[in-house]
Amino acid sequence: MVQFTLYSRSYCHLCDDMLEALQTLSSEYPFKIEIIDVDSDETLVAQFDELVPVLFGQKSGSSAALELCHYFLDEHKARDFLAQAA
């Protein structure tokens, strides 16, 4: 199973858009989404601040997460990532 981590903000329309776009893929591929508010942690603000939304993907059994995109969902890259994990 693929785990996506979406670094986001509560007042960010791009974050909402990326989440919606990602959720449309759930009918084709099984995955989980964890949403993390960057404003809840100063370290995350320093790391991602103006890049949000940022999407990472992690394949089952892997300890490393891969940054897939930021600002907008790169649907092609997300689909490739999901297909490779299947």
Range of the domain at 48: 2-85
Q: What is the CATH number of the domain that holds 15?
A: 3.40.30.10
Pairing outcome for strands 2-8 and 31-37: parallel
Q: Count CA atoms closer than 13 A to 56's CA, side-chain side.
A: 14
User: What is the domain count for the chain?
Assistant: 1
Three-class secondary structure of residue 78 per DSSP = helix
- Render pLDDT for 4-63 as a digit per residue (tens, 0 to 9): 999 999 999 999 999 999 999 999 999 999 999 999 999 999 999 999 999 999 998 888
Short-list 7, 3, 2, 30, CA closest to 18: 7
**Model's pTM, two decimal places?**
0.94
Q: Are 37 and 9 in contact (CB under 8 A)?
A: yes
Report the 10 Å Cβ neighbour count for 45.
Answer: 15
